[in-house]
């Protein structure tokens, strides 16, 4: 429980430690986070973000459960807001499913985000689902879609709650299942919920949508995100995105999310084509421009990227993704104060208490080093130590982030140790922006170059 007022909250890092605190095994802790609202937070970095919990939040959650069941695999009560059940045959490969249904038409409706002052393409679904919504329920659905489009942590939380209830009450409505899948994927990026929660529920909702409509382009692009960022299967992700685009060429998110994975994998020309398609369909959308700015940075177009990201941050200061990008671009240039500044804004916007505390501590370290006149070695050591620590706790570790930090710090020995560890674990990286900067910092270093080549993923684009 919490101690005295103002006493720092006790943090419990990683699923194993969280499970031990609960007196259960790791799989049960993960399931409770997914199904019963166990309060678990995510840390940034890597393909799969690490998790932590605060002891006082776990204590409060436990007290609200009355008594924890002795056999959680059999005795879990239903969640407060039931999650949609996956289809009866979840093991079926979605790429192998037949396509008997005629394609739905996806005309673009502009102006969906007037509050943001931009024209954003929304999708009007033509061809009713067998499970129709009455007028009041449809109004709730539309409002939830607006919340998803706003991409704020609070509104995404509200949207997932509403859409989960609608999916439970209308399991045969494909539009609701698709919207729920999309909401959970975006919650991973713009909220602080754990990957296990977001990915598990997005995957289930996408499967439910595909069971209703085997041609669901939304299900394909959601599964494409999961295949790349979670499952580590870039070629499968490419197949899913290309099929989504073929079935819904007017869907800007299909093009954008495909562009993102191409950019991360260093396929710059293909990424630019996909970004151009998305920008044509949703001109001026801030979330799209933030992703495009990151794609430019990944491609080595640093000045252009910085100008675009700075403009977006100025116009849309509560957009978490642009501050996430700017924190990294600042660190790449050795701007530690800028790194801490944008990290703090991102943490506030997404409601990440651990990151708020870390960014404040980092600013104190930077100020202390400056006053002492001892350079920046201590600050870099803090950043690198944390990067390694959270990556080592990942279920699917990706050491590209700590490798990048070590390169920026000029620590060749630490970088080589990280690269060797990543290779020993069988990791494969995209992270083109990080890899590009690592190579630039150690140009001509044959050992580092060979290690990076060994960690590279296969290509995605087939053109």
The tokens for 21 are 């605190």
Residue 5: the pLDDT is: 37
- Please tell me the distance from the alpha carbon of residue 320 to that of residue 187, in angstroms, as a whole number: 11
* Mean per-residue pLDDT pooled into runs of 10, the chain (463 residues): 45 78 76 75 56 77 55 36 42 47 38 34 43 91 93 90 95 95 92 82 96 96 96 96 96 97 97 98 95 98 97 95 95 95 92 86 89 83 87 76 96 96 93 97 96 96 85
- pTM score of the predicted model: 0.75
The tokens for 1 are 């429980």
DSSP three-state, residue 20? helix
- Residue 449 makes CB contacts below 8 A (sequence gap 6+) with 439, 442
Residue 421: the pLDDT is: 93
Q: What is the DSSP letter of 94?
A: G
Residue 37: the pLDDT is: 72
Residue 117: the pLDDT is: 37
- Which residues sit opposite 42 in a β-bridge? 51
Closest CA to 108 of 259, 285, 226: 285
Residue 101: the pLDDT is: 42
The tokens for 202 are 């997005």
Residue 26: the pLDDT is: 77
DSSP three-state, residue 82? coil
- Residue 154 makes CB contacts below 8 A (sequence gap 6+) with 351
């Amino acid at each position: 429980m919490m101690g005295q007022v103002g006493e720092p909250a006790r943090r419990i890092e990683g699923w194993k430690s969280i499970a031990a605190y609960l007196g259960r095994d790791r799989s049960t802790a993960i399931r409770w986070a997914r199904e019963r609202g166990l309060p678990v937070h995510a840390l940034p970095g890597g393909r799969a973000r690490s998790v932590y919990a605060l002891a006082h939040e776990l204590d409060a959650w436990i007290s609200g459960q009355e008594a924890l069941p002795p056999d959680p695999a059999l005795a879990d009560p239903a969640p407060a807001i039931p999650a949609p059940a996956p289809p009866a045959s979840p093991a079926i490969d979605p790429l192998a499913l037949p396509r008997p249904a005629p394609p739905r038409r996806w005309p673009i409706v502009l102006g969906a985000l007037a509050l943001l002052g931009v024209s954003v393409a929304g999708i009007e679904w033509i061809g009713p689902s067998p499970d129709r919504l009455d007028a009041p329920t449809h109004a709730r659905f539309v409002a939830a879609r607006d919340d998803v489009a706003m991409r704020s942590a609070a509104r995404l939380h509200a949207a997932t709650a509403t859409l989960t209830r609608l999916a439970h009450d209308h399991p045969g409505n494909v539009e609701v299942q698709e919207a729920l899948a999309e909401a959970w994927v975006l919650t991973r990026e713009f909220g602080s919920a754990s990957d296990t929660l977001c990915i598990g529920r997005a995957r289930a909702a996408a499967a439910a949508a595909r069971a209703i409509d085997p041609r669901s382009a939304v299900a394909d692009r959601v599964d494409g995100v999961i295949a790349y960022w979670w499952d580590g299967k870039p070629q499968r992700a490419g197949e899913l995105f290309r099929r989504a685009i073929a079935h819904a060429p007017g869907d800007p998110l299909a093009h954008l999310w495909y562009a993102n994975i191409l950019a991360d994998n260093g396929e710059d020309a293909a990424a630019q084509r996909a970004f151009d398609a998305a920008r044509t369909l949703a001109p001026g959308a801030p979330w799209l421009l933030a992703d495009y700015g990151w794609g430019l940075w990944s491609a080595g177009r640093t000045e252009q990227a910085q100008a675009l990201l700075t403009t977006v941050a100025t116009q849309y200061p509560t957009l978490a993704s642009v501050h996430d990008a700017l924190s990294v671009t600042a660190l790449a240039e050795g701007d530690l104060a800028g790194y801490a500044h944008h990290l703090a804004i991102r943490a506030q916007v997404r409601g990440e208490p651990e990151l708020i505390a870390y960014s404040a501590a980092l600013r104190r370290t930077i100020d202390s080093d400056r006053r002492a006149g001892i350079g920046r070695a201590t600050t870099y050591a803090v950043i690198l130590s944390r990067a390694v620590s959270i990556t080592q706790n990942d279920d699917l570790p990706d050491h590209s982030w700590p490798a990048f930090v070590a390169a920026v710090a000029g620590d060749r020995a630490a970088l080589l140790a990280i690269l060797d560890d990543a290779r020993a674990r069988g990791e494969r990286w995209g992270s083109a922006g990080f890899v590009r900067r690592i190579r630039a910092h150690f140009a001509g270093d044959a050992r580092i170059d060979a290690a990076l080549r060994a960690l590279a993923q296969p290509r995605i684009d087939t053109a």
